[in-house]
A and B are shown apart, each in its own frame.
Chain A
Amino acid sequence: MQEAMINRAKQLLADGTVNRVIGWKRGEFAYDITPAVFDSADELDSDFVFDDFTAANVSKYLVKESKKEGKVLAFLKPCDTYSFNQLVKEHRVVRENVYIIGIPGGPKLDAEKIKAKGITGILGVKNENYTLKIDTVYGEETMPFYEAVLDKCASCKSKKHVVYDELMGDEGDVLDSDRFDMVEKLENMTAQERYDFWREQLSKCIRCNACRNVCPACTCEKCVFDNPASGVENKAPADSFEENMFHIIRAFHVAGRCTDCGECSRVCPQNIPLHLLNRKFIKDINELYGNYQAGEDTTSRAPLNDYRQDDCEAGIVHERGVE
């Protein structure tokens, strides 16, 4: 796959369709794959990487990249295309300046899950019949492939590319996923249990802002959390209120726009399941205002920019779920 992608990118660079490519390159470690822009065929040959750790969603980088001169080539996985489409809908990217090649999605691997098995010093991985052969500095280790899969891939919602100029591989379908199971489980807990669960999770937050910075929906040029007058600008949460506030507001600001790409949880250094907050909003919107998948199209109105005269009242919260 990596070879095919590099070759196609080189062709498009050579015939002048695009003048740069956004893809991924290796970071400090083998599992540390980071987005990068490539200007030449040589760079592509030496640095371009696409493997089982290439989970990063590059659509957010296109907000800036698409405003530069000339066209940019972007490789988008199915979940990334939803994010991209949502950005097109919000007029955040210039669609004409992006050439999209749809590439097959995950499942991608989570290095943290491999490390949790006590396997360290990872040099590379190979997937052989769903057994993961991990090459480490201490020799070869194995583990079942599906135990190392990222949470966001384990509950994948769609293998369909909603926007592309050309496709590598086959067209996929929207999947029937179990992504709301954990939200439902929490909803069925008592308020005290839910409170305890979230205190345990959110108290880990160090306010590194990684979840906000990586989120393809968080593209405001001025963010409420960068406002010096807010009292919470660039600092670690001082107490439980600030932890709650940051996470409620972060999730609320992307409610109805979140495509559920799962990047927030993937990048969280503290492994807080942030996607559950976003999924709670998505689930509520689906149940109360009709099924809505952000990024699926570029024409429909976002649920929070829309209303119906017969919408339910806010009191419905009192009637649903467990107290």
Chain B
Amino acid sequence: MQVNENKEFEPLIVAFCCNWCSYAGADLSGTNRLNYPTNVKIIRVPCSCRVNPMFILRAFQRGADGVILCGCHPGDCHYTSGNYFTRRRMTLLFSMLDFLGIERDRTRVEWVSAAEGAKFAATMNEFTEAVKKLGPNRRLEDLRCRKQ
């Protein structure tokens, strides 16, 4: 996250991608020469249900302005049912963040298969734009981690 008077605000986006679908989807968007913003930093996880609520909060603590979690489409999980559990967990977590007054557009769950390189790029473009509009994460940041 950099805020400079001369420069436009560039958000830092953390994308948790499941190894089997979304990470391969990101790979495909690369090999297809599709553009998605450099703001997006991908963290590969074995399954979307590997992501526990603490990961999301830690990402925000260490300077993320938006966190997106990508996994296989429901029904396509490599481990059969991981993403179904993710769906319930993240719904509840995001609802709680919203309840605490943290902007609801900073978090998102998106299902991206290994064949959907175009969807991956489009999702990241759209999400980055949305977070850019919100501005820097101030409500769930750790001041000690702010880079100035």
Chain A contacts to B: CB under 8 angstroms:
183, 186-187, 191-198, 224, 238-239, 241-242, 244-245, 248-249, 251-252, 255, 277, 280-281, 284-285, 288-289, 303-309, 311-318, 320-321, 323
Contacts and interface: CB of A to CB of B under 8 A. Distances in A.
Nearest to A248: B96
Interface in B49-108: 53-54, 57, 60-61, 74-75, 81, 84-85, 87-105, 107-108
28 contacts: A183-B99, A191-B98, A191-B103, A194-B100, A194-B101, A197-B101, A198-B100, A224-B54, A238-B144, A239-B142, A244-B140, A245-B54, A277-B99, A281-B92, A284-B95, A289-B88, A304-B88, A306-B88, A307-B84, A307-B85, A307-B88, A308-B84, A309-B74, A313-B109, A314-B90, A314-B91, A317-B94, A317-B98
A244 B137 CA distance: 14
Given A194-B101, A249-B57, A316 B144 contact: no
Contact of A241 (B61, B93, B96): B61
Interface of B: 53-54, 57, 60-61, 74-75, 81, 84-85, 87-105, 107-109, 139-144
Contact of B140 (A197, A224, A241, A303): A241
Contacts of B61: 241, 245
Given A191-B103, A313-B87, A317-B98, 15 more contacts: A195-B139, A198-B100, A239-B144, A241-B61, A241-B143, A248-B93, A248-B100, A252-B96, A284-B96, A288-B91, A303-B88, A312-B91, A314-B90, A318-B104, A323-B104
Contacts of B143: 239, 241
Nearest to A242: B142
B91 A318 contact: no
B101 A198 contact: yes
Contacts of A252: 53, 92-93, 96
A241 B141 contact: yes
A210 to B, nearest CB: 21
Name the residue in A187, A224, A241, A255 with the highest tally of chain B Cβ atoms < 10 Å from its Cβ. A241
Contacts of A323: 104
A241 B88 contact: no
Contacts of A280: 95-96, 99
B88 A191 contact: no
Contacts of A193: 101
Q: Which 5 A-B pairs have the closest CB atoms?
A: A195-B101, A307-B84, A194-B101, A314-B109, A241-B142
